[in-house]
A and B are shown apart, each in its own frame.
Chain A
């Protein structure tokens, strides 16, 4: 029962983390187009709002995902299984991408004018990493 409860917390936190991160990724991805529309006030305001959501909800959800995830992995004895190494790799990359997006968002909220560059593909990269993690944990292929 306690294991399943922790698993539920992990899944709920993962949903909150990924949805918040996709919001970050979408805003950073369209920042160039928004900047071209006119004065940067719209982009700055939107970035400030999303950055606040990131700080108050998305980051705590990410921390909860890690705490619950590692506890579940120890509990289930998954650390020596190959599929878990793949899932952990995907989540580490997702965490790194979130860090980059969060930093860029803070820069946009402060009026920075850096181009999105490769981060235009951030929503797609995030979706692929989530799909990899979910597939590995559901199928447990190896």
Chain B
């Protein structure tokens, strides 16, 4: 899930900071035509893994909402990935190792 969070966050940043300026400042609309669907796929994959984890009882309702909101905000993906990394370190199987 950390991988999908990082992928979603990175593609959103590339879309907003690279592809959109290229489209409106340099007239390269191909940039958003390529990055847009890639970000869409990454977003669907992240939401799917979040839904699965929430349905499997891995997150509380509050954690699920926070992880969901993070997917809509620029740089939110980075916070989500860090939060998931902290959460993974707290798991008993990782503490024993």
Residues of A within 8 A of B (CB): 62-63, 66-67, 70-71, 74, 92, 95-96, 98-104, 106-107, 112, 114
Contacts and interface: CB of A to CB of B under 8 A. Distances in A.
Number of chain B interface residues as a range: 10 to 19
B45 interface: yes
B22 to A, nearest CB: 18
Interface stretch (B6-14, B52-60, B71-79): B52-60
Main secondary structure of the interface of A (DSSP, over half): helix
B67 to A, nearest CB: 13
A-B interface, 3 closest residue pairs, ranked by CB to CB distance from nearest? A103-B55, A99-B51, A103-B56
B37 A70 contact: yes
B56 to A, nearest CB: 3
B60 to A, nearest CB: 14
Interface of B: 33, 37, 40-41, 44-45, 47-58
A99 B52 contact: yes
A74 B57 CA distance: 37
Nearest to A104: B55
A106 B52 contact: yes
A107 B56 contact: yes
A114 B57 CA distance: 10
Contact of B56 (A62, A70, A96, A106): A106
Given A67-B41, A74-B33, A107 B48 contact: no
Contacts of A104: 55-56
B55 to A, nearest CB: 3
Contacts, number: 50
B52 A63 contact: no
12 contacts: A62-B48, A71-B37, A95-B44, A96-B47, A99-B51, A99-B52, A100-B52, A103-B52, A103-B55, A106-B52, A106-B56, A114-B57
Given A100-B52, A100-B55, A103-B55, 12 more contacts: A62-B48, A66-B45, A67-B41, A95-B48, A96-B47, A99-B48, A99-B51, A99-B52, A101-B55, A103-B54, A103-B56, A106-B52
Contacts of A106: 52, 56
A112 to B, nearest CB: 7
Given A70-B37, A74-B37, A99 B44 contact: no
